[in-house]
Amino acid sequence: MADLVIRDLRVAVDDREILKGVNLEVNRGEFHAVMGPNGSGKSTLAMTLMGHPKYEVVGGEVLFKGENILEMSPDERAKLGLFLAFQYPMEIEGVALAQFLWSAIKARSDNPDALKGKALLDFRKDLEKALEVVKLPPEFADRYLNVNFSGGEKKRTEIAQLLTLRPEIAILDETDSGLDIDSVRIVAEAVKSLKGPDFGALIITHYQRILNYLEPDYVHVMVDGRIVKSGGPELAHMLEEKGYDWILQEVGVA
C-alpha cells in the first residue's frame, strides 16, 4: 500500500459537491504535481487532507501509513507526518516563528518534557539553517509569525517551517502563487533538497515554472473535482504549451 492513499474522495462545501471521486496514491520519495484550471478542486483537496472543518467529506477514504486520517483532527494528522503549506499563510500576532515551531515539535513528541537544553539549542540551529536556505535573515525566527511579512516572505517562511519540522508527506497548496522568479527558485530548491526515501510531496500548482526546479515524478490534471489525466513531467510541459482547453474537450467539460 502507498504511504498516502486517496480513494473515491468526495467533498462538499456548503452542500455543493466540489470533489467528485478523487483517486490518488503518493509515496515518500515521490513528487506528485496536481494541476488544473481555477475551480477544479485542487485547494479543496489540500484542505481536506489536513482536516479543515469547512470541507465535509461525503464519501471515500484517505489512508496515511495505513490509518484512516479522516477520523483524525488536524494536529493528529500533523503528528502522523503530514504538512500543509498554505496558499494564503495566516498572520499570528504575538507568537514568534521560533515559539510556534518549538511548540509544534513538542506537541508531536512522545516525551515533550525531555525537550530542553541541547534539544532546544539544536532546534534553534536547525531553524536558523532553514531560514538561511530560504534566504531570510536569522532575526525572522523571533518575529511574529507572518506579521508584516511580504507575500514572498510568508511563502518562504512556510518552507522554513517545512525544513525544520521534516514531515513525511508535504502538501504545497500553490506555494508558487505570487512569487517572483527568484523566490520560486529558492522555494523549489529548498523543497527538492528534502526529497528522499523519507519525504514525498503533493505539489498543487497552476504553472510549469516551479516544476522546472522540483522535477515531479508524476503530474495529474484535475478538472471538475476529478483527476482526469495522469502522466510524467511531459504532461506539465504540454499544459504550459497548450493550456487546458484540450483537456476540457477530451473529458467533455465545457
State the Cα–Cα distance between residues 152 and 140, nearest whole angstrom. Answer: 13
Residue 66 predicted with pLDDT over 70: yes
Of 10, 35, 31, 19, the residue nearest 171 (C-alpha): 31
Over residues 65-78, the mean pLDDT reads 95
Residue 113 predicted with pLDDT over 70: no
% of residues, the chain, pLDDT over 90: 81
Residue 254: the pLDDT is 58
Residue 114 predicted with pLDDT over 70: no
Residue 85: the pLDDT is 95
Residue 168: the pLDDT is 97
Please state, rounded to an integer, the average pLDDT across all residues of the chain. 93
Residue 249: the pLDDT is 86
Supply the range of the domain harboring residue 163: 4-251
% of residues, the chain, pLDDT over 70: 98
Is 141 exposed, middle or buried, given 0-12, 13-18 or 19+ CB atoms closer than 10 A? Answer: buried
Of 182, 249, 238, the residue nearest 33 (C-alpha): 238
Residue 208: the pLDDT is 87
Q: What is the pLDDT of residues 148-184, one digit of tens each?
A: 999 999 999 999 999 999 999 999 999 998 899 999 9
Residue 129: the pLDDT is 97
Which CATH number belongs to the domain containing residue 108 in this structure?
3.40.50.300
Residue 251: the pLDDT is 79
Give the CB-side neighbour count of residue 98, counting CA atoms within 13 A: 17
Residue 118 predicted with pLDDT over 90: no
- pTM flag (> 0.85): yes
What 8-state DSSP symbol labels residue 89?
A: P
Residue 111 predicted with pLDDT over 90: no
Residue 81: the pLDDT is 96
- Three cell numbers written together for 19: 470533489
For the chain, what is the domain count? 1
Q: What is the pLDDT of residues 204-239, one digit of tens each?
A: 998 888 999 999 999 999 999 999 999 999 999 999
Residue 136: the pLDDT is 97
Residue 55 predicted with pLDDT over 80: yes
Q: What is the pLDDT of residues 1-38, one digit of tens each?
A: 899 999 999 999 999 999 999 999 999 999 999 999 88
Residue 1's CB is within 10 A of a number of other CB atoms, namely: 9
Residue 132 predicted with pLDDT over 90: yes
